[in-house]
């Protein structure tokens, strides 16, 4: 990992809860602390402070627009997620969120919005431990570059953590779209 990347990860970890409303001073302060931390670990390290600030500002001001969920018939649905949330080990989900934060530079506020949205969607699915026959399905729809892939990857992680054993993902109508989704 380069000195710049180490400083970026440190700075992102110093910015919990930062989102579109955060001021430039919080980003600058986190960047300065991160550059200092990297320099103290490696005296010959060189990190461009202004480039780091620009990178952080680009990442921590991402806003997820409101999402909509459509439910056809929920009369047979039994709410389950609130009761199971605390007792479930969200290993795949935590690892994916750490990847988004540390490798992709997602801000914590963006991660929290995505987490809440995927919780809402997962809660609309059925408890994988519910006995008997039941049928619940979901679909992610959105504009180009709107976060569909990250949304359904997080959903796959949460579904696996919650106990789903069989997950089917249908993506695109062309091989290039399927290949793109599979690579992600």
Residue 3: burial class (beta carbons within 10 Å; 0-12, 13-18, 19+)? middle
Domain range annotation of the chain: 3-60, 81-183
Q: How confident is the model at residue 18, as a pLDDT?
A: 43
pTM: 0.67
Could you list the mean pLDDT of each consecutive 10-residue stretch along the chain, which spans 184 residues?
A: 91 66 74 94 91 84 69 83 94 95 80 90 92 82 75 94 91 68 63
Q: How confident is the model at residue 183, as a pLDDT?
A: 67
d(CA 177, CA 94): 27
d(CA 19, CA 111): 10
d(CA 133, CA 123): 18
User: Taking a C-beta distance cutoff of 8 angstroms, is the pair 118, 158 a contact?
Assistant: yes
d(CA 37, CA 109): 24
Q: Which residues contact 85 (CB under 8 A, 6 or more apart)?
A: 119
Q: How confident is the model at residue 74, as a pLDDT?
A: 72
Reduced 3-state DSSP string for 112-146: HHHHHHHHHHHHHCCCCCCCCCCCCCCCCCCCCCC
- In the Cβ-directed half-sphere of 47, how many Cα atoms lie within 13 Å? 30
* Dihedral (CA of 115, 102, 148, 20) sign: positive
């Amino acid at each position: 990992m380069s000195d710049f990347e180490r400083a970026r990860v440190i700075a992102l970890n110093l910015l919990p809860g930062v989102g579109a409303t955060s001021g430039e001073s919080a980003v600058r302060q986190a960047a300065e602390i991160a550059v200092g931390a990297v320099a103290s670990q490696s005296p010959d390290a060189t990190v461009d402070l202004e480039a780091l600030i620009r990178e952080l500002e680009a990442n921590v001001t991402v806003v997820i627009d409101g999402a909509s969920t459509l439910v056809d018939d929920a009369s047979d649905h039994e709410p389950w997620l609130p009761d199971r949330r605390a007792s479930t080990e969200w290993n795949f989900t935590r690892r994916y969120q750490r990847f988004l934060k540390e490798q992709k530079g997602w801000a914590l506020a963006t991660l929290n919005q995505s987490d809440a949205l995927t919780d809402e969607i997962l809660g609309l699915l059925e408890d994988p431990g519910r006995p008997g026959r039941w049928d619940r399905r979901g679909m992610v729809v959105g504009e180009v570059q709107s976060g569909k892939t990250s949304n359904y990857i997080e959903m796959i992680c949460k579904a696996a953590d919650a106990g789903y054993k069989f997950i089917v993902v249908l993506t695109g109508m062309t091989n290039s779209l399927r290949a793109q989704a599979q690579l992600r």
